[in-house]
Chain A
Amino acid sequence: MPVQSSPPENQTPERIKGVFSMVKESFVGTGATRKKMSQTVHYFAEEDDRGEITVRALNPHFIPSGPGKRVTLEELLANFLPDPMIYLHKVLPAMRQVEESVERADRHRNQGELFTAEFDYKEALSLDEEHVRATFGLGLTYLDRGENDNAAIVFHRVIELEHAFDAAHKHLFNEFGIRLRKNKMYPHALRYYFRIFTKIKDDDHLLYNISRTLFEMCRHRPARHFLDKAMAIDPELKEAAALGKAIEAELAKSEKKPKGKGGGAR
């Protein structure tokens, strides 16, 4: 019986992670002045735990950015050349610098030093405009300062970011939504929650948060609809009972009001 080779226990298999380059050739000029140009383009390749390899271009600050492209190991080895020096001397220090800035910014934000936090988040984002944690952090900083206009700019960015709603950032995207609501940015909060809803349909807390936002917007009937959905997933949801009572009370009030005088639940 053949023996299947497997890594020794407590040792994870080596995964591909590093910089690879590709020489791209193009022609410039026309007629007699037409000449061939070659340019080396660097990519960051990373293998995930399912063994899939994604390559992403490096931005001018040597940070992987833009959409990723899946390649097979064979394609990677056939079309790209490993460039470990660029990885060690450019990419790693740049990535470390970004992470350090974000960690510093998070620390300042937790200590309520919001202007210093803003400075460090912007430092990180000026190197990596797509950094999810820094983007949320900057948005939360503006919300903490009550700067809703600035927060709205970050909000539009967040809903465009490809990885903003990955499970790894769940606590951040939850906090951001709650802060949008608390700052009374209801249309933003609702749009934000529905953006997550397109990705995650069965999160009871998300449905509760939608209901809570609708309730604060005085849209009591849709608020009840989403609360019912949340409770169908988790009937024991702790915060739901109080919200349910409040919604019912508002609906009862609007039903008592004579018709045609306005004030009914929208």
Chain B
Amino acid sequence: MSVNFLGRFLVQEGVITETQLVEAALLQERCNRRLGELAVFKEILTEEQVAQVFDAQRTLDAPFGEIAVRRGFLTRKDLHALLFSQKIGCRHLGECLLMLGHLSRDDFALLLERYQGRQRVRAVNVAYLLAGSGENAVLCLAWDAVEKAFARFAKAHLKIESVGAPPGIGEFEAGFCIEAELAGCGTVHLGLAANCALADSGQDSPDQEPAMDHEDVCRVAGEYFVAGLAKYGLAPAPAKVWRTEPAQAVLCARDGGALLLASPRGRMGLWLNCLDEAGFPCRLPGDGGGVC
């Protein structure tokens, strides 16, 4: 895996061991509470209310707090106080390594600076490559939908590792297709393939069932993607989502834009193809290529 996450970077630099990284990641997971968990802990929300908000989030692309406020479960003031508590309790991986004594303060500042420097270069490259993609705005919408769905329902924080087709499909074990019909404009196909390590994310412990299986998470991604397209006035029908072999997922969206995504737990490939009735890649209004 390319150097995209601080932990991996520190292991590759020989500053920490793999075991220390796992230890820090576990501490981080314990420290970083989700807003709903924190609200229940502080007795501001009940578990039932949290479940209702999560349920709404399956079809509505909005932050947890916003939905809770809209439903009258939280006041705006409560939300701000909760967000602040969450922020000061939140620990980055580097901070957990400091707390565990695996990293000294001097090393922390120095290494972080180097890591950030590399990240800045990568961010520019990814932005440049993304801008060069034929279907960049649709690809950005797809990325946004997938990123949010996996963060909210699979506890997997994805980053774009590279733009372009991943080197090999062989590393992926699960595939999913998302298909959205655009009235009079053709069809958008989104193919997703993930490896097992990522498919296991969302579990709090190895013997626990994931909160939501991958197909459901992809269904949420589909809902968010379709909602994103609707903002451009494309009025798509509800997305169809099905599980398939990784190779089939690639095939259903071949010849379009592709992204290689990574989380600390694993990788994911995202392929996108949107074809209009004449078979040309369609673009979003204002995407430099006219309306599909």
Contacts and interface: CB of A to CB of B under 8 A. Distances in A.
Interface string B53-91: 000000000000000000000000100110111011111
A129 B80 CA distance: 13
A105 to B, nearest CB: 12
Contacts of A138: 88
B98 interface: yes
A160 B89 CA distance: 19
A17 to B, nearest CB: 27
A150 B88 contact: no
A113 B105 CA distance: 11
B95 interface: yes
B108 A157 contact: no
Contacts of A154: 84, 87
Given A126-B88, A126-B89, A129-B85, A115 B109 contact: yes
Given A115-B108, A116-B105, A157 B92 contact: no
Label chain A's interface by main secondary structure: helix
Interface in A126-168: 126, 129, 138, 150, 153-154, 156-157, 160
Contacts of A115: 92, 94, 108-109, 112, 116
Given A113-B109, A138-B88, A160-B77, A119 B83 contact: no
Contacts of A157: 80-81, 84
Contact of B83 (A113, A129, A153): A153
A153 B112 contact: no
B109 A129 contact: no
Contacts of B94: 115, 119
Contacts, number: 47
A96 to B, nearest CB: 19
Nearest to B80: A156
A160 B80 contact: yes
A80 to B, nearest CB: 29
A189 interface: no
A155 to B, nearest CB: 9
A156 B109 contact: no
Given A116-B105, A119-B95, A119-B98, A150 B87 contact: yes
Contacts of A156: 80, 83-84
B219 to A, nearest CB: 27
Contacts of B89: 122, 126
Nearest to A119: B95
Contacts of B84: 129, 153-154, 156-157
Contact of A153 (B77, B87, B116): B87
A160 B81 CA distance: 9
A125 B83 CA distance: 14
Contacts of A116: 105, 108-109, 112
B88 A125 contact: yes
Contacts of B80: 153, 156-157, 160
Interface string A238-249: 000000000000
B175 to A, nearest CB: 33
A108 interface: yes
B109 to A, nearest CB: 4
Contacts of B87: 122, 150, 153-154
Interface centre among A108, A150, A153 (most CB of B within 10 A): A153
Nearest to B88: A125
A122 B83 contact: no
Contacts of B105: 116
Contacts of B81: 157, 160
B208 to A, nearest CB: 28
A217 B83 CA distance: 28
18 contacts: A113-B109, A115-B94, A116-B108, A116-B112, A119-B108, A122-B88, A122-B91, A126-B88, A138-B88, A150-B87, A153-B80, A153-B83, A153-B87, A154-B84, A156-B83, A157-B80, A157-B84, A160-B81
- For the complex of A and B, 7 pairs with smallest distance between CB atoms: A156-B80, A125-B88, A157-B84, A113-B109, A153-B83, A119-B95, A115-B112
Given A153-B84, A157-B80, 20 more contacts: A113-B113, A115-B92, A115-B108, A115-B109, A115-B112, A115-B116, A116-B108, A116-B112, A119-B98, A122-B87, A122-B88, A122-B91, A126-B89, A138-B88, A153-B80, A153-B87, A154-B87, A156-B83, A156-B84, A157-B84
